[in-house]
């Protein structure tokens, strides 16, 4: 998704949540300064990796149950805390999308095993970036929700889950299966505001389904 097309949605999100664009941009520059250039996974390589069929895993309350009863097709992309659930159940994703606020041990291990880490910067995770971005030793893609710049990409998206979907669409996915997504019953971290999480999931649902090109099949199981 081109930034010019994404920016109106981004501005609406900033207004809705009271976030600072300046803080988003500052975090993105911090992330870019920490991750070694040799670790960056090129956009051409990312395009080749994401095929026509993609499965995106979200950290909904039924994810573990779903993992136990089905096989998966295409490129496997996990979002946020879903990576730890996948790894615990013996599923290695091809890539994962994270803003670094989950259980990073699983993310770091998955990255070392070959999964591409898509690390996202926003205004609220500057301290997490400073503490943890350097721990990823495998291939890394950097992302921002504000204006992209050299080495830092914007594929569209607000939460880890919808950002994974929009990234897959950007690179030509024609069929995207969502597993473990629940837009009504969020899994919240200790101390997190459930109301804010539900508002974020409402945005995620909008971005996944209302911004979906008609030639991309979205299946939610």
Number of domains in the chain: 1
Instruction: Please provide the average confidence, as pLDDT, over all residues in the chain.
Output: 94
| Percent of the chain's residues with pLDDT above 90 | 85
Per the domain annotation, does 87 fall within a domain? Answer: yes
Average pLDDT over residues 10-24: 97
Per the domain annotation, does 216 fall within a domain? Answer: no
pLDDT in tens, 53-81: 999 999 999 999 999 887 898 999 999 99
What DSSP string runs through the chain?
--HHHHHHHHHHHHHHHT--HHHHHHHHHHHHHHS-GGGBPPHHHHHHHS-SEEEEE---TTHHHHHTS----SEEEEETTHHHHHHHTT---SEEEE-S-S-HHHHHHHHHTTPEEEEEE-TT-HHHHHHHGGG--S-EEEEESS--BTTBB----SSHHHHHHHHHHHTT-SEEEEES--SSS----TT--HHHHHHHHHHHHIIIIIT--TTSEEEE-
Average pLDDT over residues 88-110: 95
Per the domain annotation, does 199 fall within a domain? Answer: no
pLDDT in tens, 148-193: 999 999 999 999 999 999 999 999 999 999 999 999 887 766 667 7
pTM for this one?
0.95
Per the domain annotation, does 168 fall within a domain? Answer: yes
């Amino acid at each position: 998704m081109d930034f010019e097309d994404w920016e109106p949605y981004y501005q609406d999100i900033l207004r809705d949540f009271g976030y600072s664009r300046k803080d988003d941009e500052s975090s993105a520059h911090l992330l870019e300064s920490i991750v070694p250039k040799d670790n960056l996974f090129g956009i051409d390589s990312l395009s080749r990796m994401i095929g026509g069929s993609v499965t995106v895993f979200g950290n909904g309350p039924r994810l573990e149950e779903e993992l136990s009863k089905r096989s998966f097709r295409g490129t496997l992309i996990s979002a946020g805390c879903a990576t730890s659930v996948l790894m615990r159940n013996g599923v290695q994703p091809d890539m994962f999308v994270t803003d670094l606020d989950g259980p990073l041990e699983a993310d770091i291990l998955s990255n070392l095993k070959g999964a591409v880490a898509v690390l996202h910067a926003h205004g609220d995770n500057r301290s997490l970036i400073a503490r943890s971005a350097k721990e990823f030793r495998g291939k890394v893609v950097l992302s921002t929700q504000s204006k992209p710049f050299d080495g830092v990409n914007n594929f569209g998206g607000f939460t880890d889950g919808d950002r994974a979907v929009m990234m897959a669409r950007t690179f030509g996915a024609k069929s995207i299966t969502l597993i473990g997504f629940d837009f009504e019953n969020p899994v919240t971290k200790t101390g997190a505001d459930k109301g804010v999480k539900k508002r974020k999931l409402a945005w995620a649902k909008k971005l996944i389904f209302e911004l979906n090109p008609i030639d991309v099949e979205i299946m939610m199981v």
